[in-house]
Structures are given as structure tokens and as C-alpha cells.
Chain A
């Protein structure tokens, strides 16, 4: 055996190493096993709790999962001739939903860019204030959109503006964090070069940092846009404008309007898939492709 070539002392050493290694593996496995058992116990307990606090149990509801969609689809199938017209009827609200998402992403991203630059080490305008801007972003991220939207609806009445404000606020917080992580990795040499020729802070950022980070920032903003289209549909359902609101009305009407429900479902589904695809494609190009 190869061991004998190194003599007895070495063999002892190797045996020790092996024993220590196996010991470590055993210990690790034990820890892993304990964690797994804990996790399984936690899952079971929370499952039971959720089950007991729900109106209908999991087992009772399971056979009914398909009954509502099949009811909806069968009714829509009977009136299938009207569905294309209904789809056309709801396109304006879909445009509104997408507009809400686009405007709020745009405003949120602009605010996020400013917040990110102000809170990045090495770039900040007022280095002492970076923690303040960071906490500000944390707070904006933590408040759920629905809270802001519902309060603004009370003040402004229904419509797209409360949704835009709510989503933009959240977007600014969420993108600000990501933007600032990108900006932290930016090369500082262009900034120093600009400083040496007497550029102001705004010029340093605009000419020295933004060109470096723009592809990544744009990619994150596009990803956020995808998320915001969904959020804007949901906020519509809870009480703002757009296609979510139409869906809610059609759902409340119930039987007799299911063809409308299907039309809205289809419209929303196709839009989300198309936007996801487009943004996926654009993001791959931005990060990996021609601009870099």
C-alpha cells in the first residue's frame, strides 16, 4: 500500500486525520439532522395552526379548487363569441395598469438613483448623512404598498394616482438598495479624474458614475417593472384604478359575467408573459451583451 512508503509515523498521522475528519462529518450530519427535524416540526406545527384558523380546511377545499375555474371557463365557453369584444373593451384599463407600473417604476427609479448615490460610501454628497438615507430606504421598503394606497384613496379618491404614489415609494426603497450595491463596486478613478478638473458633485456622478452603472441599474429597473405590473394589478383589485378594479367588479357580479372574468384573466396573463419575456431579453442584452 502507498501508506507503508511513508513509514509508521505518517500512518498514525493519517489515521488521526481520518478520524478527525470522520468525526467532523458525523458532527455536521448530526447538526444537519437536528436542524432538519426542527424545521419539519416547525412546518407541521404551522401547517396545523393555519389549518385550524382557516375557514375551510385543506382537505375539504382540495376537490373544490377546480370547480370555480371550470364553472367560469364553461360559462365563458358558451359565450365564446363575445370574449374577443370583451377583451377589446378592457384594453384601456390594461393600458392604465401598465401606465401605473411604468410611471411608478420611472419615478421610483429616479428617486432610487438619487438615494443610492447619496447613501453609497465614497460617493455620497454628505458622508455623515449616509445612515439617514439608508434608514429612509429601509422604511420605504418596509411599508407595504397597500397601506399607502388605501390611505391616499381616502384623501384623493380612487384612481391611478394613489397606486402610482404607493408603488413608486416602495420602488424607490427597493431599487435604492440594489442601485447602491452596484454603485459601491463602481471604479472611482473617473470620479477622481473629474474631481481634479473641478467638477461639481452632480457632474461627477452624472459623468463619472452613471455611465459605469447604467446597464446594471437599467436591468434592475426592468426587473422591478415586471414586479410593478403585478403590483399595480393587485392594487387595482384592492381599490385603485386599472384592470384589477374591472376584475373585482366582474367577480362581484359573479355568474353571468364570467365571460368578462375570463377576458380579463386572458388579457392580464398575456400581458404579464409578454412583459416578462421582453424584459428578460433586454436584461440579458444589457448585462452580458453589446453595451458592456
Chain B
């Protein structure tokens, strides 16, 4: 500085101006470099090809499945039997003699109200679709062929061959073959979330349920209604709430066991790896390289190796988290130990304390807040990683999630699991924040 002051003004300004010029160049160069890199990435990821390959129809299925469901109303054309089932599944089938509000049967004529002015009628002659704008489309079997009368020229939402007719509108869908006629009606919401039709509580409204739970007569003489309700909900075959809750719990269990186990193992090791605690240099060096190795090999590879030895399940996931985090904790803890204030340790030493007592009364109280906050932070982030690890080792909610996604039809299950995972992660987040505040301030 003093040198600069004695220099003439022009000389003093030169480096400053040069630094300005450099900064100005940087402020243009950095965005250009970023843009160039993104451009390169877009080309190498084949973004243009992707836009053509994208399956927007799949996206539509996915989005609509998230918030609505369909009910299949099927008539067997040979026997005339009518079946109503949610998503066409056996476990969602309505019992005989009970129909949803939008289906009415009178004198052998079935009427299905699709909403928005659309409706479908099944009768002895065949089936009719009433469209509010296009009018009525009638289908009747004629020998081996199907005859369709409807608007001409035929709109593209009607697809008819001699043996099969399908009508797809925004309100629903009708499919007619010689053997059966089937209508899909869409309704908002997740279907049968609480009870499936085989439960006696399936068709009760909320007040009715409340009354049945508290004062109603026992529907099943062996158990009280409220217990039966809990049982029917817990074992709901469509949503499997019990299994899902267990899977979610397993995921949290993996995170808890893994993180805490890693912390318990890493704490003594960190004392050995900290330069102010352990005078033996080579041992320190070796242990540090072990930590680096564990972290470098990475959770993915540990998970694969451990899954081979222990099979699927939460213990495998917990061990994978434990192993990976032992490396991270060993590094973090030993750094925390190296940064302590030596005065307190000396104070304890002056009273004649041994190594263990110095560690217990001089070191641990200083590092506890730092270590606890790191452990809690990892616990929270591991709850999220346990989902992925579960998907790889085959345990917990990660397994259910990948299964539901791979079947490519139960998207409402995927949405349900997502909501559960997000809620659990947020709960763990607040729990660990609360504990951190409590323990660190209180301790």
C-alpha cells in the first residue's frame, strides 16, 4: 500500500483499471460460457429428438389418473348381466343389487349418466350414446356385424369396424363388441380410499359412519363397529394402507438406524483421526484414507454389495446408509474435534484427569452441539435417500413406488406414495429442526 501511495497517479491507477477491465470481461464471459455449455449439453442429450419422442398421451394419462378414477359399467351381451366395478378391478366391484348414483336400471334398460349432458343407454336392441352436440349414436348387433347409426360424416372420436365400436369423448368412453358393451365414467377423487365395496361401511356417508361407530348396532357381532372400521380401512385391498404405512415406517427406520449407527461408530474413530487427540501420525493418516475410501466408493456401490450379502429388506438399507455415513461422519467429526478450544481441555488436565476424563469433560461438551446438528441434518436427508436405497435393495416405500411406476397404470398409488413421502420428509425436517433447537440451546 505504501509503495502504491508514493507512485505517480497514472501508475497507481493502472492495476485498478486492469482489474476493472478483467472484471468487465468476466461478467460477459461467464454467461457466454454457461450458455455455450448448456448448448453443448442440449445437443449431447439430444433434446430435439426427445421432443419428438415424448409421449404426451402418457403425460395426459398420468395427470388424469392422479386426481380422478374411472368406473366400468359392463354388460355381458350374451347373458345380459350387468357389472359395475371401479377401475374394472374385482376388489372394486359393486355388490349385486347396489349401483352407483349415475347408473339406473328400469325394465331391462340401463341408463348411465356421464355428466355434462352425455349419457349412455343399454337396452335389448343394443346401446345408444347421447351426445349433447352430435345427437344420438345408436349401435345394434345385426347377425355377426355391428350396425352404427349416427352423425355423418363420422367424427374422429367414433371408431367403428364391423365387429367393434368405440366412442371416446371428454366425458367418458363406450366400447361395444359382440360379447359385451362397456362404458367408462370418470369421477374426481381417489376411489374407495377408505373402504372397498366388500366392507359394510363402504356406502355410508360421514354422519352415518360416525353414528355407526359410536352408537350403531354391531354389523359384525364379534367386533365393535369402530374396530371393524379400523380393520377394514387398514386392510383395504385397493390401497393397502397397512402395508404402505409399514413400508413408510421401514424407510424411516432405515434412515434412523443407519444414521445413528454411523454416528456411534464414527465418534470413537474420529478421536483417533483428529490430530490434536491422537499423536500417532501414521494411524491418523491410515484412518483418514479409510474414510476417504468409504466416501469415494459411494452409497450406490455399497448398496449393491450389501444387497448381495443380506438380501432385500430394511436392514440392508440401514447398513448401506451406515457404511456411507461412517465415512462422512468420520471426516466431519474429526474436523470438529480439531477445531475445539484447547483451554478447556487444559483446565481439565490441570485437575489430574486422564485421557478418557479429558475427552468426556473437556472435549465432548464442546463438540456435542456441532455433532448433534450434523447428525440430525443427515438423519433428515437420509430419510429421502432411504427411498432411493429402498428402490435398489427392495425394501420400504421405495420398492412400492418403483413397482407402482413400473406397472404404469396405478398412478393414483404413485400420487399417494408421493404425498406420504413428502409429508414424512417434511415431518422429519421439522422434528430434526425442533430437536436441534432444543438440544443445542438446552445443552
Contact = CB atoms under 8 A, between A and B. Distances in A.
Interface string B396-426: 0010011001001000001001100110011
A99 B257 contact: no
A25 to B, nearest CB: 11
A110 B257 CA distance: 35
A237 B392 contact: yes
A256 interface: no
Given A102-B37, A143-B418, A237-B392, A54 B256 contact: no
B45 A161 contact: yes
B441 to A, nearest CB: 14
A233 interface: yes
Interface string A148-187: 0011001111011100100000000000000000000000
Nearest to A95: B44
Given A143-B418, A269-B298, A54 B44 contact: no
Nearest to A63: B309
B38 interface: yes
Interface in A132-159: 138-139, 141-147, 150-151, 154-157, 159
Contacts of B260: 39, 43
Contacts of A150: 401-402, 405
A272 B296 contact: yes
Contact of A53 (B296, B304, B314): B314
A68 B309 contact: yes
B257 A54 contact: no
Interface stretch (A16-24, A44-52, A197-205): A44-52
Contacts of B41: 99, 102-103
A276 interface: yes
A272 B298 CA distance: 8
A138 B34 CA distance: 27
Nearest to A251: B304
B314 A56 contact: no
Nearest to A35: B439
Contacts, number: 180
Given A43-B257, A58-B315, A150-B402, A143 B58 contact: no
A42 B414 CA distance: 31
B183 interface: no
A150 B44 CA distance: 21
A61 B309 CA distance: 5
B315 A154 contact: no
Nearest to B406: A150
A64 interface: yes
Contacts of A238: 388, 391-392, 402
Contacts of B37: 102-103, 106
Nearest to A270: B296
B306 interface: yes
B387 A144 contact: yes
Interface size class on chain A is 35 or more
B51 to A, nearest CB: 9
A43 B421 CA distance: 23
B295 interface: yes
Interface string B133-170: 00000000000000000000000000000000000000
Contacts of A142: 384, 421-422, 425-426, 429
Interface in A55-108: 55-58, 61-62, 64-65, 67-69, 96, 99, 102-103, 106-107
* Chain B binding surface SS class: helix
A251 B300 CA distance: 13
A117 interface: no
A209 interface: no
A234 B388 contact: yes
A220 interface: no
Interface string B240-276: 0000000000100110110011000000000000000
B414 A151 contact: yes
Interface string B288-316: 00001001111111001110111111111
A146 B54 contact: no
B7 interface: no
Contacts of B310: 54-58, 61, 64
Contacts of B222: none
A54 B314 contact: yes
B53 interface: yes
A76 B113 CA distance: 67
Contacts of B316: 54-56, 61
B55 A54 contact: no
B217 to A, nearest CB: 39
Contacts of B301: 265, 268-269
A64 B384 CA distance: 28
B356 interface: no
Contacts of B174: none
Contacts of A208: none
A147 B401 contact: yes
B257 A147 contact: no
Contacts of B421: 142-144, 147
Contacts of A257: none
A273 B313 contact: no
A230 interface: yes
A238 B405 CA distance: 12
B54 A234 contact: no
A7 B197 CA distance: 87
B372 to A, nearest CB: 12
B300 A237 contact: yes
17 contacts: A43-B257, A43-B261, A50-B318, A57-B310, A103-B37, A138-B429, A139-B422, A142-B426, A147-B401, A151-B62, A155-B59, A157-B50, A159-B46, A230-B300, A251-B304, A268-B298, A268-B300
Given A69-B305, A247-B300, 8 more contacts: A43-B260, A54-B312, A56-B310, A99-B44, A154-B405, A159-B46, A272-B296, A276-B296
Interface of B: 34, 37-38, 41, 44-47, 50, 53-56, 58-59, 62, 250, 253-254, 256-257, 260-261, 292, 295-301, 304-306, 308-316, 318-319, 384-385, 387-388, 391-392, 395, 398, 401-402, 405, 408, 414, 417-418, 421-422, 425-426, 429
8 shortest A-B CB distances, which residue pairs? A54-B313, A55-B311, A54-B315, A61-B310, A56-B311, A64-B309, A68-B308, A142-B425
